[in-house]
Amino acid sequence: MSRVLYDLCGIDERLRFSPYCWRVRYALAHKGLEVETRAWRFTEKEALDFADHDRVPVLVDGQEVVTDSYAILRYLDRAYPSAPLLGDDLGEARARFFKHYAERSLAPAIMRTIVMDLFNAIHPDDRAYFRESREKRFGRTLEEFHSPVKGLTQLDTALAPLRGRLEEADFLDGDAPAGGDYLVFGFFMWARCVSSADLVSNADPTYAWLERMLDLHGGLGRQAMRITDIEGAYR
């Protein structure tokens, strides 16, 4: 098989938690495409030199090398047109909004809730890099930024439009999931893999959607290793 996805791993090689990589894992499964994932850590920059990039996901599909999760979804629609992820015209334009909603509304709220769990899940060799880059971004220490109560309050507000949509449809993209769902869901996989925090109450329509997303594609998300599966790792 000549399809390889470079995929962020943590303290265990099998612990894969990047929200951007999860978008791609779901997108590949949506297209029915097999992939070999290759564990990668934040500080292994030189391993991605061939792609002229310093972050995952990186997809190598035969002769094609594609970086950036959104660009990979677009590439997959071009190369494998059946079962569209982003679609054309208005569909594709609107998918961009889901990307920004996930990255700018949900991700900061989730990050605030789980950052110390995330730090704990990262490979020890990557922790200094993670701490330095994130503390610079947040303008404070990880410990100061970490606030589950603030994060969950922020998340509750940010979920309002998702909730509205999921009250009327099983998936963001309608009766069946597609790129819009994957662009958003990746961030919930991120939290699920590194933390046992309950982000969404089971009375929330978002909860039932998360359960459906975990079951998709043969339980792709539900079967993924979580930090709680590693003895002694979660504290």
Task: State the minimum distance, in angstroms, from the CB of residue 180 to a copy of itself.
Answer: 6
Contact 80, 33 (CB under 8 A): yes
Stretch that binds a copy of itself, among 86-94, 113-121, 186-194, 209-217 (CB under 8 A): 86-94
Sign of CA dihedral 2, 222, 32, 110: negative
CB 187, min distance to a copy of itself, A: 13
Rounded CA separation 212/208 (Å): 6
How far apart are CB 200 and a copy of itself at their closest, in Å?
A: 16
Instruction: Output 45 or 94, the one with its CB closest to a copy of itself.
Output: 94
Three-state DSSP class for residue 61: strand
How many CB atoms sit inside 10 A of residue 228's CB?
A: 13
Among 14, 45, 96, 222, binds a copy of itself (CB under 8 A): 96
Minimum CB separation from a copy of itself for residue 52, in Å? 22
Q: How far is the CB of 105 from a copy of itself (least distance, A)?
A: 5
- Nearer to a copy of itself (CB atom), residue 103 or residue 117: 103
Binding to a copy of itself, residues 142-181 (CB under 8 A): 154, 157-158, 160-165, 168-169, 172-174, 178-180
- Residue 205 in contact with a copy of itself, rule: CB under 8 A: no
Can you read off the two tokens belonging to residue 57?
Answer: 């996901």
Give the residue, chosen from 105, 113, 195, 206, that forms a contact with a copy of itself under the rule CB under 8 A.
105
Please give the torsion angle defined by the CA atoms of residues 201, 183, 4 and 220, in that order, rounded to the nearest 10 degrees. Answer: 30
Nearest to 122 by CA among 21, 9, 10, 232: 10
Residue 91 or 148 with smaller CB distance to a copy of itself:
91
**Among 131, 133, 113, which Cα is nearest to 122's?**
131
Q: Which of 148, 68, 83, 88 is nearest to 113 (CA)?
A: 148
Nearer to a copy of itself, 10 or 84 (CB): 84
Residues 126, 124: Cα–Cα separation, whole Å = 5
Asked whether position 98 contacts a copy of itself by CB under 8 A, the answer is: yes
Chain residues that interact with a copy of itself, rule: CB under 8 A? 84, 86-87, 89-91, 93-101, 103-105, 154, 157-158, 160-165, 168-169, 172-174, 178-180
